[in-house]
Protein backbone atom coordinates (compact mmCIF):
# COMPACT_ATOMS: atom_id res chain seq x y z
CA UNK A 1 0.00 0.00 0.00
CA UNK A 2 2.63 2.54 1.09
CA UNK A 3 6.02 2.60 2.77
CA UNK A 4 6.84 5.43 5.20
CA UNK A 5 10.22 7.04 4.59
CA UNK A 6 10.54 10.16 6.74
CA UNK A 7 8.50 12.69 8.70
CA UNK A 8 9.28 16.37 9.27
CA UNK A 9 8.53 16.26 12.98
CA UNK A 10 11.24 17.32 15.43
CA UNK A 11 11.40 15.99 18.98
CA UNK A 12 10.21 18.50 21.57
CA UNK A 13 10.61 16.84 24.98
CA UNK A 14 13.43 14.30 24.60
CA UNK A 15 16.84 14.52 23.01
CA UNK A 16 17.02 10.91 21.81
CA UNK A 17 14.39 8.23 21.23
CA UNK A 18 16.44 5.55 22.94
CA UNK A 19 13.48 3.29 23.77
CA UNK A 20 12.50 3.16 20.09
CA UNK A 21 16.11 2.45 19.15
CA UNK A 22 16.31 -0.22 21.86
CA UNK A 23 13.12 -1.91 20.64
CA UNK A 24 14.42 -1.99 17.08
CA UNK A 25 17.75 -3.41 18.27
CA UNK A 26 15.98 -6.06 20.34
CA UNK A 27 13.83 -7.14 17.39
CA UNK A 28 16.84 -7.33 15.10
CA UNK A 29 18.90 -9.32 17.62
CA UNK A 30 16.09 -11.79 18.22
CA UNK A 31 15.73 -12.24 14.47
CA UNK A 32 19.45 -12.86 14.09
CA UNK A 33 19.48 -15.48 16.85
CA UNK A 34 16.27 -17.22 15.74
CA UNK A 35 15.52 -16.43 12.12
CA UNK A 36 19.02 -17.32 10.93
CA UNK A 37 19.10 -20.64 12.76
CA UNK A 38 18.06 -24.07 11.52
CA UNK A 39 14.41 -24.63 10.63
CA UNK A 40 13.96 -26.74 13.76
CA UNK A 41 15.26 -23.92 15.96
CA UNK A 42 13.08 -21.37 14.18
CA UNK A 43 10.00 -23.53 14.75
CA UNK A 44 10.97 -24.11 18.38
CA UNK A 45 11.29 -20.35 18.97
CA UNK A 46 7.92 -19.71 17.32
CA UNK A 47 6.15 -22.31 19.47
CA UNK A 48 8.00 -21.38 22.63
CA UNK A 49 7.73 -17.58 22.36
CA UNK A 50 4.84 -17.06 19.94
CA UNK A 51 1.27 -16.45 21.05
CA UNK A 52 -0.89 -19.57 20.57
CA UNK A 53 -4.56 -18.96 21.44
CA UNK A 54 -5.34 -22.65 21.98
CA UNK A 55 -2.74 -22.82 24.74
CA UNK A 56 -4.09 -19.79 26.56
CA UNK A 57 -7.64 -21.12 26.23
CA UNK A 58 -6.61 -24.58 27.52
CA UNK A 59 -7.76 -26.38 24.40
CA UNK A 60 -4.23 -27.60 23.61
CA UNK A 61 -0.94 -28.25 25.38
CA UNK A 62 2.62 -27.51 24.34
CA UNK A 63 5.19 -30.25 24.49
CA UNK A 64 7.36 -29.68 27.58
CA UNK A 65 10.55 -29.48 25.53
CA UNK A 66 9.13 -26.53 23.58
CA UNK A 67 8.20 -24.44 26.62
CA UNK A 68 10.51 -21.43 26.93
CA UNK A 69 8.48 -18.92 28.94
CA UNK A 70 5.20 -19.07 30.90
CA UNK A 71 2.17 -18.94 28.60
CA UNK A 72 1.10 -15.51 29.83
CA UNK A 73 4.41 -13.98 28.75
CA UNK A 74 3.69 -14.83 25.12
CA UNK A 75 1.24 -11.89 25.00
CA UNK A 76 4.45 -9.85 24.63
CA UNK A 77 7.26 -12.21 23.58
CA UNK A 78 5.51 -13.01 20.28
CA UNK A 79 6.04 -9.41 19.17
CA UNK A 80 9.83 -9.82 19.05
CA UNK A 81 9.74 -12.69 16.54
CA UNK A 82 9.50 -12.29 12.77
CA UNK A 83 9.10 -14.76 9.95
CA UNK A 84 11.54 -13.23 7.48
CA UNK A 85 13.60 -10.15 6.74
CA UNK A 86 10.71 -8.41 4.95
CA UNK A 87 8.37 -8.98 7.90
CA UNK A 88 11.00 -7.56 10.23
CA UNK A 89 12.00 -4.69 7.93
CA UNK A 90 8.45 -3.46 7.38
CA UNK A 91 7.61 -3.37 11.07
CA UNK A 92 10.89 -1.74 12.05
CA UNK A 93 10.55 0.94 9.37
CA UNK A 94 7.13 1.95 10.69
CA UNK A 95 8.53 1.88 14.24
CA UNK A 96 11.49 4.08 13.26
CA UNK A 97 9.47 6.70 11.37
CA UNK A 98 6.57 7.05 13.81
CA UNK A 99 7.81 5.71 17.13
CA UNK A 100 10.13 8.58 18.07
CA UNK A 101 7.37 11.20 18.19
CA UNK A 102 5.06 8.94 20.17
CA UNK A 103 7.93 8.33 22.61
CA UNK A 104 8.45 12.10 22.74
CA UNK A 105 4.78 12.68 23.58
CA UNK A 106 4.58 9.96 26.25
CA UNK A 107 8.04 9.92 27.80
CA UNK A 108 10.44 6.97 27.78
CA UNK A 109 8.93 4.80 30.53
CA UNK A 110 5.29 5.32 29.60
CA UNK A 111 6.13 4.75 25.94
CA UNK A 112 7.65 1.35 26.75
CA UNK A 113 4.56 0.43 28.77
CA UNK A 114 2.41 1.70 25.89
CA UNK A 115 4.28 -0.51 23.41
CA UNK A 116 3.90 -3.60 25.59
CA UNK A 117 0.18 -2.96 26.14
CA UNK A 118 -0.44 -2.49 22.41
CA UNK A 119 1.36 -5.75 21.69
CA UNK A 120 -0.71 -7.53 24.35
CA UNK A 121 -3.94 -6.02 22.98
CA UNK A 122 -3.06 -7.30 19.52
CA UNK A 123 -2.55 -10.83 20.86
CA UNK A 124 -5.72 -10.62 22.95
CA UNK A 125 -7.97 -9.69 20.01
CA UNK A 126 -6.28 -12.31 17.84
CA UNK A 127 -7.14 -14.85 20.52
CA UNK A 128 -10.76 -13.72 20.55
CA UNK A 129 -10.97 -13.97 16.76
CA UNK A 130 -9.32 -17.41 16.57
CA UNK A 131 -9.61 -18.99 20.04
CA UNK A 132 -8.77 -22.53 18.92
CA UNK A 133 -5.85 -21.65 16.66
CA UNK A 134 -2.70 -23.68 17.29
CA UNK A 135 -0.62 -21.58 14.89
CA UNK A 136 1.87 -19.28 16.65
CA UNK A 137 1.25 -15.56 16.20
CA UNK A 138 4.53 -13.68 15.72
CA UNK A 139 5.54 -10.15 14.74
CA UNK A 140 5.54 -6.60 16.09
CA UNK A 141 2.57 -5.56 13.93
CA UNK A 142 0.16 -5.24 16.86
CA UNK A 143 2.48 -2.93 18.78
CA UNK A 144 3.36 -0.97 15.64
CA UNK A 145 -0.34 -0.58 14.79
CA UNK A 146 -0.80 1.03 18.18
CA UNK A 147 2.00 3.48 17.41
CA UNK A 148 0.41 4.32 14.05
CA UNK A 149 -2.92 5.08 15.75
CA UNK A 150 -1.23 7.22 18.41
CA UNK A 151 0.76 9.16 15.80
CA UNK A 152 -2.41 9.82 13.82
CA UNK A 153 -4.12 11.28 16.89
CA UNK A 154 -1.07 13.35 17.84
CA UNK A 155 0.22 14.53 14.47
CA UNK A 156 -2.29 14.17 11.62
CA UNK A 157 -1.09 17.32 9.79
CA UNK A 158 2.66 16.69 9.87
CA UNK A 159 4.07 16.13 6.40
CA UNK A 160 5.53 12.68 5.76
CA UNK A 161 7.39 11.20 2.83
CA UNK A 162 5.86 7.91 1.69
CA UNK A 163 6.61 5.56 -1.16
CA UNK A 164 3.37 4.61 -2.92
CA UNK A 165 3.18 1.35 -4.87
CA UNK A 166 6.93 0.85 -4.35
CA UNK A 167 7.83 3.56 -6.87
CA UNK A 168 6.12 6.93 -6.31
CA UNK A 169 7.54 9.16 -3.52
CA UNK A 170 5.04 11.67 -2.14
CA UNK A 171 5.16 14.25 0.65
CA UNK A 172 1.68 14.44 2.13
CA UNK A 173 -0.05 15.08 5.48
CA UNK A 174 0.26 12.07 7.76
CA UNK A 175 -3.48 11.58 8.12
CA UNK A 176 -3.86 10.58 4.46
CA UNK A 177 -1.70 7.43 4.45
CA UNK A 178 -2.38 6.56 8.08
CA UNK A 179 -6.17 6.75 7.83
CA UNK A 180 -6.04 4.70 4.63
CA UNK A 181 -3.77 2.15 6.31
CA UNK A 182 -6.10 1.81 9.31
CA UNK A 183 -9.20 1.51 7.11
CA UNK A 184 -7.42 -1.17 5.11
CA UNK A 185 -6.82 -3.23 8.28
CA UNK A 186 -10.51 -3.09 9.22
CA UNK A 187 -11.60 -3.91 5.66
CA UNK A 188 -9.29 -6.92 5.44
CA UNK A 189 -10.51 -8.17 8.81
CA UNK A 190 -14.14 -7.79 7.70
CA UNK A 191 -13.67 -9.76 4.48
CA UNK A 192 -11.35 -12.34 6.03
CA UNK A 193 -8.26 -11.43 3.97
CA UNK A 194 -4.98 -13.36 3.79
CA UNK A 195 -4.88 -16.11 6.39
CA UNK A 196 -1.17 -15.67 7.15
CA UNK A 197 -1.78 -12.14 8.44
CA UNK A 198 -3.66 -11.53 11.70
CA UNK A 199 -5.81 -8.51 10.90
CA UNK A 200 -7.40 -8.91 14.32
CA UNK A 201 -4.02 -8.33 15.99
CA UNK A 202 -3.60 -5.14 13.98
CA UNK A 203 -7.04 -3.91 15.04
CA UNK A 204 -6.31 -4.77 18.66
CA UNK A 205 -3.14 -2.69 18.52
CA UNK A 206 -4.87 0.20 16.75
CA UNK A 207 -7.67 0.30 19.33
CA UNK A 208 -5.29 0.14 22.28
CA UNK A 209 -2.98 2.79 20.82
CA UNK A 210 -5.82 5.21 20.11
CA UNK A 211 -7.19 4.88 23.65
CA UNK A 212 -3.92 4.75 25.57
CA UNK A 213 -2.38 7.84 23.97
CA UNK A 214 -5.27 9.90 25.31
CA UNK A 215 -4.39 9.09 28.93
CA UNK A 216 -0.66 8.34 28.76
CA UNK A 217 0.65 11.41 26.93
CA UNK A 218 2.54 14.07 28.86
CA UNK A 219 0.51 16.76 30.51
CA UNK A 220 0.03 19.61 28.09
CA UNK A 221 0.81 17.61 24.94
CA UNK A 222 -1.90 18.63 22.43
CA UNK A 223 -3.87 16.28 20.22
CA UNK A 224 -4.48 16.61 16.47
CA UNK A 225 -1.59 19.06 15.97
CA UNK A 226 -3.36 21.87 17.78
CA UNK A 227 0.01 23.46 18.50
CA UNK A 228 1.80 22.38 15.34
CA UNK A 229 4.84 24.39 14.27
CA UNK A 230 6.36 23.31 10.97
CA UNK A 231 8.27 25.15 8.22
CA UNK A 232 5.04 25.21 6.21
CA UNK A 233 3.07 26.80 9.05
CA UNK A 234 5.54 29.47 10.16
CA UNK A 235 4.73 32.95 8.95
CA UNK A 236 7.75 35.18 8.57
CA UNK A 237 7.17 38.83 9.57
CA UNK A 238 9.40 41.53 8.16
CA UNK A 239 9.25 45.31 7.69
CA UNK A 240 8.56 46.81 4.30
CA UNK A 241 11.62 48.11 2.51
CA UNK A 242 10.26 51.66 2.63
CA UNK A 243 9.01 53.00 5.97
CA UNK A 244 7.25 56.38 6.08
CA UNK A 245 9.04 59.15 7.94
CA UNK A 246 5.90 60.06 9.83
CA UNK A 247 3.46 57.70 11.48
CA UNK A 248 4.01 54.19 12.87
CA UNK A 249 5.92 51.66 10.77
CA UNK A 250 3.85 49.23 8.70
CA UNK A 251 4.54 45.51 8.73
CA UNK A 252 3.75 42.94 6.14
CA UNK A 253 3.56 39.18 5.89
CA UNK A 254 5.39 37.03 3.43
- Per the DSSP assignment, residues forming a β-bridge with 238 are 252
**Virtual torsion, Cα 17, 21, 23, 28, nearest 10 deg:** 170
Cα 50 from Cα 69, distance rounded (Å): 10
- The percentage of the chain sitting over the pLDDT mark of 90, rounded to a whole number, equals 74
Find the mean pLDDT for residues 171-177.
Answer: 96
pTM, to two decimals = 0.86
> pLDDT, tens digit, for every residue of 183-216?
999 999 999 877 789 999 999 999 999 999 999 9
Find the mean pLDDT for residues 22-39.
Answer: 88
pLDDT of residue 145: 98
> pLDDT, tens digit, for every residue of 206-254?
999 999 999 999 999 999 988 654 444 443 333 333 333 344 433 344 4
pLDDT of residue 23: 98
Pairing of strands 2-7, 251-253: unpaired
For residue 28, is pLDDT > 90? Answer: yes
- Per DSSP, which regions of 102-234 are E strands? 159-164, 168-173
Helix %, strand %, coil % of the chain (to 5): 55, 10, 35
Pairing of strands 168-173, 251-253: unpaired
Contact predicate 169/163, CB 8 Å? yes
DSSP 68: -
For residue 149, is pLDDT > 90? Answer: yes
Residues near 90 by beta carbon (within 8 Å), at least 6 away in sequence: 3
Q: What's the topology of domain 2-253?
A: Rhomboid-like fold (1.20.1540)
Amino acid sequence: MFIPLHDANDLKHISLQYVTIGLIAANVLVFVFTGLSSQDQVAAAAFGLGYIPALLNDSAELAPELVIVPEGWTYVTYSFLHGDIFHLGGNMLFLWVFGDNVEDALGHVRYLIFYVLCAAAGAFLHGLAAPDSQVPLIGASGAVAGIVAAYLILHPRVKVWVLVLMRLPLRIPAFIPLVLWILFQFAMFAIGGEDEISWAAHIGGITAGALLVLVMRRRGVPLFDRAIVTPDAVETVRPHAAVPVTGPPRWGRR
